Structure 1
C-alpha cells in the first residue's frame, strides 16, 4: 500500500474542494516544465538508492498532470518524500497537498520555521491554516507541536488526554522561558501563530510563569 502526496502551484486553492477542482482541471493539459523537472530529479535520486531504500511507489514522471505532480510513496518513506517535495517545490512556489489528511502546506503567507508535528514529522514553515488544523487534532501517539524560528527561539505545545494544553515558549535565554496552560485549542493556535509572527499582543490572555530548572 502506498501514500499519495501532490505538488501544485501556490495560491491556486485554499480548501480541499478547491484543490480537487484545480486538479480535475489539469487533466489533459500539457505537462508543466517545473513539475516535469522536479519529477525527473525525484526519479534520479530514487534510482541512486538501493531498491530496499526506494522512496517512490511508481516513477514520479508518470505522476505529472499539467502543472501538478502526483507522487506515490511507501508508508515508511512518507517523511523523507514529503521533505524532498518541500526542498524541490518550495523554491519554485509550489504547495504540498496531502489528500489523505486534507492538509495543504502552501508557502504563501508562511513563516519559515523548523516545525515538528508529533504525529506527522517535520515541516519547513508554518501557516495559519495549518496551525488551525493541527492544534485541535493533536492526539496520541505524538500530541505535540514545536516551531523553532532560531536557536533557542521556539514555541511548543503538548495536548494531554483530558484535552488541556501545556504551552511553552523560549526567546533565546533561560530568563525568557515561559509556560502556561490552556483549554481552548483556538487560543493555543492563535498564540502559536502570533508568536511566530513576532506578535505578543494577545499573550496576556494566559497566566504565563517563567520556567526555572
Structure 2
C-alpha cells in the first residue's frame, strides 16, 4: 500500500471540497512548469538511491496534473517525502494537501516555526487552520504538539486521555518558562496561534505558573 500527498498552488483552495474541485478542474490541462520541475527533482533524488531505499511508489512525473502534483510514497517514507514537498514546493508557492487526513498546509497566512506533531512528524510553519484542526485531534501514540522559533523559545501542549491539556511556553530562559492546564481545545489552539504570531492578548485569561526545576 502507498500513501498519497498532493502539491497544489497556494491559495487555490481552503477546504477539502475546494481542493477536490480544484484538482478535478486540473484534469486535462497541460502540465505546469513548476509541477513538472518539482516532479523531475523528486525523480532525480529517488534515482540516486538504492531500490530498497526508494521513497516513491511511482514516478513523480506520472503524477503531474495541470499545476498540481500527486506523489505516491511507501508508508515508511511519508515524513521524508512530506519534508521534500515542503522544501521544493514552498519556495515555488505551493501548498501540501494530505487527502488521507484532510490536512491542507498552505504557506499563505502562515508563520514560520519548527513544528513537531507527535503523530505526524515535522512541519516548517504553522497556520491558524492547521492549529485549530490539530489540537482537538491530538491522540496516542504522540498526543503533543511543539512549535519552536528559536533556541529555547517554544510553546508546546500535551493532550491527556481524559481530554485535558498541559500547555507550556518558554521565552529563552528558565525565568521565562510557564505552564498551565486547559480543558477546551479552542483555548489551547488560540494560545498556540497567538504565541506563534506574537499576539499575547489571550494569555492574561490563563492561570500561568512559572516552572522551576
What TM-score do the two structures reach when normalised by structure 1?
A: 1.00
Separation in structure 2 between the aligned mates of residue 102 and residue 154 of structure 1, nearest angstrom = 26
Structure 2 residue aligned with 1:77: 77
Is 1:129 aligned with 2:149?
no
Separation in structure 2 between the aligned mates of residue 110 and residue 182 of structure 1, nearest angstrom = 25
Structure 2 residue aligned with 1:90: 90
Structure 2 residue aligned with 1:167: 167
Separation in structure 2 between the aligned mates of residue 41 and residue 151 of structure 1, nearest angstrom = 32
Structure 2 residue aligned with 1:113: 113
Give deviations 1:17-43, integer Å, cap 9, x for gaps.
Answer: 000000000000000000100000000
Structure 1 residue aligned with 2:208: 208
Separation in structure 2 between the aligned mates of residue 189 and residue 205 of structure 1, nearest angstrom = 14
Separation in structure 2 between the aligned mates of residue 172 and residue 109 of structure 1, nearest angstrom = 25
Structure 1 residue aligned with 2:63: 63
Separation in structure 1 between the aligned mates of residue 199 and residue 7 of structure 2, nearest angstrom = 31
Q: Extract unaligned runs of 5+ from structure 2.
A: none
Q: Extract unaligned runs of 5+ from structure 1.
A: none
Is 1:3 aligned with 2:3?
yes
Structure 2 residue aligned with 1:19: 19
Length, aligned pairs only: 213
1:98 to partner: Cα distance: 0.1
Give deviations 1:34-63, integer Å, cap 9, x for gaps.
Answer: 010000000000000011110000000000
Secondary structure in 1 matching 2:125: strand
Separation in structure 2 between the aligned mates of residue 117 and residue 200 of structure 1, nearest angstrom = 22
Separation in structure 2 between the aligned mates of residue 116 and residue 53 of structure 1, nearest angstrom = 24
1:147 to partner: Cα distance: 0.2
Secondary structure in 1 matching 2:132: helix
Secondary structure in 2 matching 1:35: helix
Secondary structure in 1 matching 2:154: strand
1:206 to partner: Cα distance: 1.2
